[in-house]
Structure 1
């Protein structure tokens, strides 16, 4: 989390100093961190719960390993496919709206100019100044399209999300998270507790990392995720034990 920082600088100008205040803000959009952390967290919780549920049924360690690897693979592909479809659909919708705006700018430039000026007026700019600003900013068709897209659609035409990037990052982050509870078994563990401990540590780290894009303390976010993930694992373990007894 890049905390807001304020810095004051004084320099002499003649006989009187002037003060310039500088500050920065946290990344409220989350950038790359939010989808990466939440993807890993999703993989951790879902695969940990899946493996503890199977372990509750008193099955062989090899069965738990196969279950964990299958959950990792299926979950990662599912996340990637879902993220790709979601982002691709969103991008296609935005591009369709941009095409409509592009045609309107070509067919009715005066109406679009008036519309842009009215947006500025609604924000408190005087009518004459708003019209002049809109006129100057509409000289370049591509710049006019970008401005209308930002003002009316809330998007930047030059910065649309990539479906492939979204799918790839979701696949990798989910896979890394889902791999953690499997690792102890791959390294020779024969009981479920090492997998639970490793997964809970991973959940705490992911929760603490989420604090980079929130106002919460890192320990609070970490403990919250640890408790939620632990509760999910505990419930599925009990259910697995009950189902295993019933089936047996």
Structure 2
């Protein structure tokens, strides 16, 4: 290490100082996130902070007396640290996951392969922590983002198409408000029916929980319980062994097929998992008691869709509500809608761990393309009708 310090150029020292500052910022970020969590999540985040201390020690040792003032880390990490202090939500975990994914240690000559591997593992840890939060907000988030985007794009396109036809500003305003209300109601109704139908389909695929009440009355040596597990994908021998185990656990006493003493009686929730085909100690892929509700509430999704669509559809109408007309109203509406499209796209990118700017630009391009096509159609139809 001493030879490396002696031969370090000013550029190398600067880069090492930046790495040290970033690692200190990351360790602080994980500690701030841990303060807002409890139980297992807190332990995991504190363990990540301790892991970053290894990297901090590496850069401190490499710099030695040249460490000096290293600053507070990159702007991205400082912003994440501030957000973690006040929010600590799934969005912050998703952004932290992306920050780990962008680690430069794969190409940094001063970083060890173990450090680069650590960063990849940290990304997977954060991906797992964020996954539960993503599942919990997926239904509402989908309704909010899709509703806002639909409102922005559809009403912007509608207003531009009507404006291109040469109608008066009052007519454009009335059309925009009508599009807002009709679209919001349509979105709410569609989201309600979609979530309700999805929940009914999922429930239809789950075991009938009332069956648990009668399982203990089955004849141990003659029953069709193995067929339940074969229908869910097990082979014949595996299904038979699992059925024997389920009955042994449910009865609690007496003879088990092939001899042996049965285990103690289990709870109804455990019996339901066994009926689903989940062995003790396995991860339950079904809708267990502790699993997040990934579908969400139909009523909540409907309200979210109505409000989100209404907000999005209101944006291109605002210039007309404030008395603007003609090209001025069109230009202001397009600018406002463009900013809103960028924002919703960036939010979606943050939650999914993708690049926010790229997602925002993609959203903007799609929305403006739809609006321009409608505007062109309005010009053509206006010319024919006129």
TM-score of the superposition, structure 2-length normalised? 0.51
Q: Which runs of 5+ in 2 are unaligned?
A: 1-28, 31-44, 54-120, 219-223, 250-262, 279-283
> Do structure 1's residue 107 and structure 2's residue 214 form an aligned pair?
yes
Distance 1:145 1:130, change over 3 A: closer
Count how many residue pairs are aligned between Structure 1 and Structure 2.
234
Tell me if the contact between 2:225 and 2:243 (Cα under 8 Å) persists in the aligned partners.
no
Superposed, which structure 2 residues align to 1:50-69 within 5 Å? 50-69=158-177
Aligned equivalent of 1:169: 304
Distance 1:42 1:149, change over 3 A: farther
Comparing both structures, which one devotes a greater share of its residues to strand? 1
Query: CA separation in 1, counterparts of 2:341 and 2:191?
Result: 22
Superposed, which structure 2 residues align to 1:36-75 within 5 Å? 36-75=144-183
Quick check: 128-137 or 21-30, which moved more? 128-137
Query: CA separation in 2, counterparts of 1:86 and 1:161?
Result: 11
Q: Which runs of 5+ in 1 are unaligned?
A: 12-20
TM-score of the superposition, structure 1-length normalised? 0.76
Query: CA separation in 2, counterparts of 1:137 and 1:190?
Result: 78
Report which structure shows greater RCO (CA 8 Å, sep ≥6).
Answer: 1
Tell me if the contact between 2:180 and 2:313 (Cα under 8 Å) persists in the aligned partners.
yes
Aligned equivalent of 1:81: 189
Superposed, which structure 2 residues align to 1:94-243 within 5 Å? 94-98=202-206, 101-108=208-215, 135=249, 139-145=266-272, 148=275, 154-156=286-288, 159=293, 161-191=296-326, 192-243=330-381
Query: CA separation in 2, counterparts of 1:170 and 1:56?
Result: 29
Tell me if the contact between 1:34 and 1:210 (Cα under 8 Å) persists in the aligned partners.
no
Query: CA separation in 2, counterparts of 1:96 and 1:171?
Result: 28
Tell me if the contact between 1:121 and 1:130 (Cα under 8 Å) persists in the aligned partners.
no
Q: Which secondary structure state, in structure 2, belongs to the residue aligned with residue 224 of structure 1?
A: helix
Runs ≥4 residues deviating over 4 A: 109-122, 127-134, 146-153
Structure with greater Cα Rg: 2
